[in-house]
Chains A and B, each alone.
Chain A
């Protein structure tokens, strides 16, 4: 079984993020970056599938050449190989373009299943897994809290407000996983060392036959029109009771005025 996992380099969730005023994209070089946290769950799930069914795990990352560190981080958990798509023309790609490029790379690898994290902590669109399934023409099973592969059948448990739905499809399929599907392993020292020498295949847009005009800032289907820092929080309004209980009335009126009650 050939399992492909998509991984993304994102700014450290705890870090102060900066948008570049020139092209309104995230300044990815100025902050500490990490492997998108939910992608660790996808990598873990892929490794577990391999442990059950045998085969191979390949990670796929689209990101600037500096994202290689993220690729190695994912490899240190145990996958066998990686594909890294980087091309200057990719800068500023929207979620759909990203999915288009990933799709082209996935066609090169020809996996039996594609696992994604359900969202990335920077843009939080959650669009890529579904768009990817659409471009590939494969079933997309999103939000998996549990995953089983039984022959050609891919089955996931998707959490809902009242319980869970069981969703099933014939592979190859795209599955996005949520946190809690497993407990990702911590890489071992041997894993870190081994990651340095695992094969990483580099692709440019030309290698994948993708037209640079269709992706990046040029081909983005969405545009960031403006951004502004969040205004500082206003001081709250204090209600003091003069001793006759009238503060309760004032509070009730405040809440009613804002339609809370």
Chain B
């Protein structure tokens, strides 16, 4: 598997890095404090085509691939995880299932505005009673003539409550399969549909500027034409979506790891103690060396998983390994990065304080570390 990036991908990585440093970085602290993204950032991301990266030009995309999307996510996460997860959830979870499972008509109607970044998409799977056991849903949709009537609540959903939130794809139980298990179907619900209410924002530990909401569906009616993919194919389709999303989350975690290296390298050279830069103390330098190892290894892991995904090969095992490794690496590196900064590391003026708060959720979202270990163990024929 060739992990070399093309010259165009290298060029694009540099451009996203410049954007992250010049436009996102200076706003990161204020956006975190405000609990909202600056629309200027989202507008520029849209103008750069970030929301359309992995989709073909016929549906308004950029004609790139998943690897290129992950490159952009990694570069953004180097300075701001909230911006990076907004992109990851919008493309990986919101738009991607519509691209993969939507009809040509659905591509034109729903995917186009998402690929252009005019609207952001959301993916509503998790419910208040549970996320890991994705098949055990309580949200129901019943057919009434040519309409679905949806009832239920979704929890912890990203990108549904923004001004530019366009739609959420809801996973709902639509019946029972012959084996007695739930028949699950994915249904597109546009923002503003009567009976679909977006709840309050959660008060989160990190990812402050990213939008996370509870969604409430009460006799919410949408045309049966909004069914995404086959009726009953919902479970298989969203499992595939999550599998892909893990690669992107691994890239995001890699970016956070890299941000820790960058911040600590700079700080350790400038900060003095006992008459010398703290970088001269092996205890500090080795911590940063270990961060570099984690960033490097996490990058290789996501790039390999993404290369397989782009080549149309099975990548689930690699995605689980990359997600598990990179997210745990991010948590460790962020903790050490605060340590390298001493007391200032606990102050919000320093990005590492934000990295510390932002890292933890990476071990939870899009499949917890426990679920990743289950998948990896299973790939070894265990458990």
Contact = CB atoms under 8 A, between A and B. Distances in A.
B63 A188 contact: no
A187 B64 CA distance: 14
B38 to A, nearest CB: 14
B7 to A, nearest CB: 9
A12 to B, nearest CB: 11
A196 B8 contact: yes
Interface in B46-68: 47-49, 53, 57, 62-64, 68
Contacts of B68: 189
Contacts of B64: 189
B47 A189 contact: no
Interface residues on B, range: 10 to 19
A192 B8 contact: yes
B11 interface: yes
Interface in B25-61: 44, 47-49, 53, 57
B15 interface: yes
Interface residues on A, range: 10 to 19
B48 A192 contact: no
A193 B47 contact: no
Nearest to B65: A189
Interface in B264-294: none
A241 to B, nearest CB: 24
A190 B12 CA distance: 10
Contact of B62 (A186, A188, A196): A188
Contacts of B63: 189-190, 193
B311 interface: no
Contacts of B18: 186
A142 B48 CA distance: 30
The residue in A73, A185, A191, A193 that gathers the most chain B C-beta atoms within 10 A of its C-beta is A193
A191 to B, nearest CB: 8
Contacts of A191: 49
Interface string A59-91: 000000000000001001000000000000000
Interface of B: 8, 11-12, 15-16, 18-19, 44, 47-49, 53, 57, 62-64, 68
